[in-house]
Amino acid sequence: MIRFKHNIQYTNQKTNKGFSLIELLVVVAIIGILAAVGIVAYSGYTASARINAVKQNLSTAIKYIENEKAKCDLGETTVMGTLPCASLRGGNSGIILAQHIFLRIQNLLPRHIDVYDTSPPIDHFFAWGGGVQWVQGRAFASGSGNQVQINTCLADPCTGDNRIQTFIQA
């Protein structure tokens, strides 16, 4: 018969299970750093998305205006719903076109809203204004002589590269 001696001694045996306070603090610090970096990156993404949305809204509106004007050259008598092509040939055609642009684009492009202010009531992207106006996220059409001026501001402050000014001949 074989006999075993059970004189085994365990040294350094831990009875506590779980994480130490230092380990938990390190994990919390790492999560905090990752959250801070993520928030900054998210803010940058939303700011650039808003600027791109304003540019896309303006581009869509200008393409619509140019296409409607081209219909007059192709023999249409009325464009933008109720605008007679003959009225686009006079001395104040820019003012007339600017007013129709505002009215028609509000109805035809309702999903193009002010991306900076989406709280009810929702402001539309396009507005009619006398004179030059600059408002972040909005486009203003004004007419003078035989041209329409469309101004939009991409972001605050509405200066320098944040401004887009487009002229369309009526």
pLDDT of 16 > 80? The answer is no
Residue 78 has pLDDT above 80, yes or no: yes
Tell me the pLDDT of the chain averaged across its residues.
78
Q: What is the pLDDT of residue 124?
A: 56
Reported in sequence order, the residue ranges of the chain that DSSP labels E, i.e. its strands, are: 78-79, 83-84, 126-128, 139-144, 147-153, 163-169
Q: Report DSSP letters for 26-64, one per residue.
A: HHHHHHHHHHHHHHHHHHHHHHHHHHHHHHHHHHHHHHH
Residue 28 pLDDT grade (very low, low, confident, very high; cuts 50, 70, 90):
very high
pLDDT band at 23 (very low <50, low <70, confident <90, very high): very high
Widest Cα–Cα separation across the chain: 122
pLDDT, residue 32, reads 95
Mean predicted confidence (pLDDT) in 20-41: 93
* Burial class for 142, CB neighbours closer than 10 Å (0-12, 13-18, 19+): buried
Higher pLDDT among residues 122 and 119, named by residue: 119
Instruction: Provide the pLDDT confidence category of residue 36 given band limits of 50, 70 and 90.
Output: very high
Which pLDDT does position 40 carry in this prediction?
86
Length of the chain: 170
CA-CA-CA-CA dihedral for 129, 53, 116, 81, to nearest 10: 40
Torsion of CA 55, 160, 149, 155, to 10 degrees: 40
Residues of the chain above pLDDT 90, percent: 9
Q: The whole model's pTM is what?
A: 0.66
